[in-house]
């Protein structure tokens, strides 16, 4: 079978199909684990459904977190290769309204037996001294973690024993994939995992780009952060479709580095740095960590999140092409949900019983798109 795309979702699919006994070829035009995978923060988190119309996003992320835990438990080498750190997440409440939101989230997590801890202002200051004074508190989710996605991709492709084919896919006809240089490859199954590039083979408008800026500081031997820090307004901003946004999202990296996000620019598919948006994002981060503006930046870059038009990823049979299956459009949750996506797609395409309800993710929902 053929997997198109060597990002983290493609690598997860290659690994899963290999575990099912299939031989796998992975086609990639650029560098392995590049694109949206390399531009991500690598935050592993189970998404709650407090205030959501359904629990589909929670179910997909929760199943994937189980699969991540199983993979990490298979060998200590997996955690080392992934640079895994169960740092936990602190969802920060800047005011009383956000503290009430934290309380509602904690109540929801309690219903599904997910351990959380509510920190008041003093407890938060002791937990993370670099944060500014005056925050109301935070919700601590200790099970969350972070990984370095490009190294995970390399490991999963190694485990899949996939044949890596360098090239650009320009056409898919039945079981045949044609590359730009004229080569033709045949696969009993074809899985489309090319991120935003998958749009050329899908009904118009299925995927939308959301550009993001990131920055990482120099290593520091001084006091640093210990948890992934995210403001509670992040999720609201992540789903905005009417304006560009910035949110505070800070991640500790090895050696005292800090990875800084997050921004979203709608319908931007270029990867050039936007200095105005970067400055806006860094200024917002500095309003939470006052010492941040004094730290030296090692690198700044941008990436493109491949988002679906309705906010749900595309996982399932292609709406028009037989033998072609789709796994893309995860936006900011591709790292977390990669393993559950691969498992669900393998179950569907190999006529096995899925563990999750696949209907919300079916690409056929876009079949009528002109």
pLDDT tens for each residue of 70-95: 999 999 999 999 999 999 999 999 99
Binning pLDDT at 50, 70 and 90, where does residue 190 land? very high
254/27: higher pLDDT: 27
Cβ(89)–Cβ(109) below 8 Å: no
Sheet holding 25-28, edge to edge: 163-166, 25-28, 2-4, 190-192, 324-328, 314-317
- CA dist 23 and 162 (Å) reads 7
Omega cis (within 30) before 262: yes
Q: Does pLDDT of 370 surpass 60?
A: no
State the average pLDDT over residues 268-296.
Answer: 94
| CB-based contacts of 301, cutoff 8 Å, min separation 6 | 39, 213, 214, 215, 271, 273
Query: What CATH class is the domain 2-76+148-206+310-366?
Result: alpha beta
Of 242 and 163, which is predicted with more confidence? 163
165 Cβ neighbours under 8 A, 6+ residues apart = 25, 26, 27, 28, 179, 185
Band (pLDDT 50/70/90 cuts) for residue 369 is very low
Does the pLDDT of residue 14 top 70, yes or no? yes
At 224, is the pLDDT very low, low, confident or very high (cuts 50, 70, 90)? confident
The residue ranges of every structural domain in the chain are: 2-76+148-206+310-366, 86-143+208-307
What pLDDT was estimated at residue 237? 56
Average pLDDT, the chain: 94
Is residue 133 very low, low, confident or very high in pLDDT (cuts 50, 70, 90)?
A: very high
Fold classification of 86-143+208-307 (topology level): D-Amino Acid Oxidase; Chain A, domain 2 (3.30.9)
pLDDT at 121 over 50: yes
8 A C-beta contact, residue 91 and residue 81: no
**Residues 6 or more apart from 351 whose CB is under 8 A from it?**
none
Average pLDDT estimate for 29-35: 92
């Amino acid at each position: 079978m053929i997997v198109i795309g060597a990002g983290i979702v493609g690598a997860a699919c290659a690994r899963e199909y290999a575990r099912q006994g299939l031989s796998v070829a992975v086609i990639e035009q650029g560098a392995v684990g590049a694109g949206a995978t390399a531009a991500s923060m690598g935050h592993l988190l189970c998404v709650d459904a407090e205030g959501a119309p359904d629990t589909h996003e929670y179910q997909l992320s929760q199943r994937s977190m189980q699969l991540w835990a199983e993979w990490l438990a298979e060998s200590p080498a997996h955690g080392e290769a992934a640079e895994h750190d169960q740092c936990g997440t602190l969802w920060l409440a800047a005011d009383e309204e956000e503290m009430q939101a934290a309380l509602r989230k904690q109540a929801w997590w309690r219903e599904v037996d997910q351990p959380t801890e509510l920190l008041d202002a003093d407890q938060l200051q002791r937990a993370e001294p670099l944060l500014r004074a005056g925050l109301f508190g935070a919700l601590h989710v200790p099970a969350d973690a972070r990984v370095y996605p490009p190294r995970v991709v390399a490991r999963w492709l190694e485990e899949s024993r996939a044949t890596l084919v360098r090239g650009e896919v320009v056409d898919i006809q039945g079981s045949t994939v044609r590359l730009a240089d004229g080569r033709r490859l045949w696969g009993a199954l074809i899985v489309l995992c090319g991120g935003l590039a998958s749009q050329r083979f899908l009904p118009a408008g299925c995927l939308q780009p959301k550009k993001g800026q990131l920055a990482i500081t120099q290593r520091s031997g001084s006091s640093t952060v210990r948890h992934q820090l995210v403001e509670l307004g992040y999720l609201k901003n992540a789903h905005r479709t009417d304006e560009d946004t910035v949110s505070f999202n800070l991640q500790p990296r090895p050696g005292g580095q800090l990875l800084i996000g997050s921004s979203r620019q709608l319908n931007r598919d270029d990867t050039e740095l936007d200095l105005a948006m970067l400055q806006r994002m860094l200024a917002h981060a500095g309003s939470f960590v006052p010492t941040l503006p004094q730290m030296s930046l090692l690198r700044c870059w941008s990436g493109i999140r491949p988002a679906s038009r309705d906010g749900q990823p595309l996982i399932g049979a292609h709406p028009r092409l037989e033998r072609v299956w789709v796994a893309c459009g995860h936006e900011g949750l591709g790292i977390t949900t990669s393993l559950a996506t691969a498992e669900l797609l393998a179950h569907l395409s190999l006529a096995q019983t899925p563990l999750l309800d696949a209907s919300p993710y079916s690409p056929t929902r876009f079949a009528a798109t002109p």
